[in-house]
Amino acid sequence: MTASGEVVRRTTRLAQGLRTFAADIAEGFFDITHNGLAVLGVAVVVALAALVARPDLRQVGESQLMSWLQARQVEALGLVPELDAIDRATAANPKDLPKQQAAVAYWLSKKYRVAPEPLSALVAEAYDTGRRAKLEPTLILAVMAIESGFNPFAQSPVGAQGLMQVMTGIHSDKYEVFGGKLAAFDPVTNLRVGVKVLQECIQRAGSLQAGLKFYVGAAHLPDDGGYADKVLAEYARLQQVAAGRAVPVITPAPPAIRTMAPTPAAPEAAAPADPQKVAAFY
């Protein structure tokens, strides 16, 4: 055999050895990886079985995961997540209302420059509460419009508060079932209490006009400063809007600040239809 032949033979043997070595390494790596994945799969199955058998462990895991995700959100947004905040919002989609109610909500929104979503919730509540109290919902909305211009945080110098400008101190008993006097600033609660007070005023006075005079605290005064006329005029406009008629939108002046204080009720002032013998309410 020549020297060149010997070199070729050795080179071939070396190449075969390298290929065998590489194949052995690849096979070993595959076996390790395969066995590792198998172990991982077994671990996952065992973990899932444990979570199914132990709901308490699952709850702990879910809680920790949610805490981690919330922490990441706080870090990314700079806001603390509170997914149930929407439940506290007094708002509704006007498109979800019946046609009549939606028309009233949009008209009031334009006139009083208030977002249609919270107004839609108030309109829906006025219709629901008015049905139960046997009062026209458009009358309830007219009182709100004149009293506060739909400002749920309005307050007068004499203590009338919220949408319906109810005297919270005098009617604190009505707020007890809603958790206390601070509920006066919850729009829906203020609406419901205000409707109850308005209903009592009308029943005691014997007429709508006289009841509105009672509501504003002018039962013993020569006149109510035009309050009842303003409410009734807005009531008439809202009736037309609800009936589908086109009513011009004229932006009103800011609502007048109530300065009339109620007169304490006398024990003998129980007759339902004599406005001269019944104390002022609002």
Question: What angle do the packed helices 227-242 and 137-148 form, to 10 degrees?
Answer: 130
pLDDT value for 119: 97
pLDDT value for 134: 96
Q: Give the residue among 270, 182, 275, 258 at the shortest CA–CA distance from 216.
A: 258
Question: CB of 157 within 8 A of CB of 259?
Answer: yes
DSSP-assigned beta bridge partners for residue 166: 161
- Phi, then psi, of 166 in degrees rounded to 5: -80, 140
DSSP-assigned beta bridge partners for residue 95: none
pLDDT value for 51: 56
Cα distances (angstroms) measured from residue 188 to each of 7, 12, 98, 149, 154: 99, 93, 19, 15, 14
DSSP-assigned beta bridge partners for residue 155: 161
DSSP-assigned beta bridge partners for residue 161: 155, 166
Q: Would you kindly state where each structural domain of the chain is located, as residue ranges? A: 3-81, 94-277
> pLDDT tens track of the chain, all 282 residues?
565 566 556 666 655 665 665 566 556 555 555 555 555 565 565 556 655 666 776 677 777 777 777 677 666 767 777 778 888 889 999 999 999 999 999 999 999 999 999 999 999 999 999 999 999 999 999 999 999 999 999 999 999 999 999 999 999 999 999 999 999 999 999 999 999 999 999 999 999 999 999 999 998 899 999 999 999 999 999 999 999 999 999 877 666 555 555 544 433 333 333 333 333 333
Question: CB of 97 within 8 A of CB of 124?
Answer: yes
Fold of the 94-277 domain: Lysozyme (1.10.530)
pLDDT value for 177: 94
Distance CA 234, CA 124 (A): 18
Distance CA 191, CA 137 (A): 11
End-to-end, the C-alpha distance of the chain in Å comes to 124
- How much is the pTM? 0.68
Looking from the CA of 3 toward its CB, the CA atoms found within 13 Å total 0
Residue 130, helix vs strand vs coil: helix
Question: CB of 162 within 8 A of CB of 153?
Answer: yes
